[in-house]
Structure 1
């Protein structure tokens, strides 16, 4: 999943693709590098970012989605927590809704996903609420509430993926690394995992590198999280992460199988 930020202020690439032509060009270059999904966002989710109105968000993303729907067969995701933006994006050609508030800000997104059959990414966030001390217990607590909203709206299970939300109110290296080390525990919820560590601040703390220089560190987390069972990787640099996944998948294939796995 390639990140396409149509914003002036995203933490890593803000302003770089802040026009329809630049955003579309970047998205198509990501497809050429191996992206299967293009995640289009019109509002920065970095801490301290200036909020934008729904109308401004829509003005940024809808022309990009319309163009991409005509120019590529890649899946298109709309990165929004607003039900109206998601509705318009699907009408413009988007296939997936990526909600960074996990249906808990505008639950109407669940009904929209149910009605349209769109894919639905439900992300965990710790922002704006009290959290449990244990990082994984808080994941289960939050995501189970989100999944209840989805179930009440009759969202098809096979359309859902879960995102543990690295960096979203997980401020320290220790908290993010603990979540990474235990990420496989979230598979007990019964859904594929989408992960987004790309160029996050905790990688900068670990490596001492600025945001634009964190692709190697991102690729390392991609390998680690693939080994922990993650399925979808939301990244800025597609090529380096495709290479990292090729190695990780080869390693997984080479691992000795248990008797039960051999029977399957």
Structure 2
């Protein structure tokens, strides 16, 4: 089995685009919004801890290790969607809330920085970490597998897997197309925009001292994950899911562009 060169090229370009996106956005917004690198680092750390460690451990226990919950959730698509969306919303938004409460206590922020500077910087870090940990690193693995398959060396490098695992890898490689590479780029770009939007919303709520910001953020995050969960449950086709996210991300990007513009004085001070 081999992967077509055009497919490998499209997958590589899509991965490169997703990898560069958070870096380019940060560089573009750093001066006009007086972004603080510590906010971006906070976003990276929170995603790494709360999404890739805590949420993953929770899902492993609920969906696999505990036979009572695993059987009930996996057999009931509605319960699976409800659990998956709420788990992601609670884990990520609690982490985001804690981080922003800590950031809000800092007293050395430049007074000329735009009001949404922290939310944007944190969101770029949080969304960038997701783009890399959930997207880029995974796709790099499949690019390596594709190259090995084209050289006829794939099975040799998968010798530590069971026959079922090897067949699964071959099946996934056989189904990768240029269209799926484009879908991957759309998915990760939309997720990046949503993470910035959630971060700006959370920062505004924390700055205002509004106690309802955390439950609101959890609900909104959970709702944003519903299409993806419906796809995982086999209830919605992939193109419908990605079309929904693409439209939502475009609308959100326009809203962020309008509401987060720095004042002229802040932009000149930066």
**Higher helix proportion:** 2
Same fold (TM over 0.5): no
Structure with the greater alpha carbon radius of gyration: 2
- State the TM bucket, normalised to the shorter chain: under 0.3
TM-score by length of 1: 0.25
Greater RCO (CA < 8 Å, at least 6 residues apart): 2
**Higher strand proportion:** 1
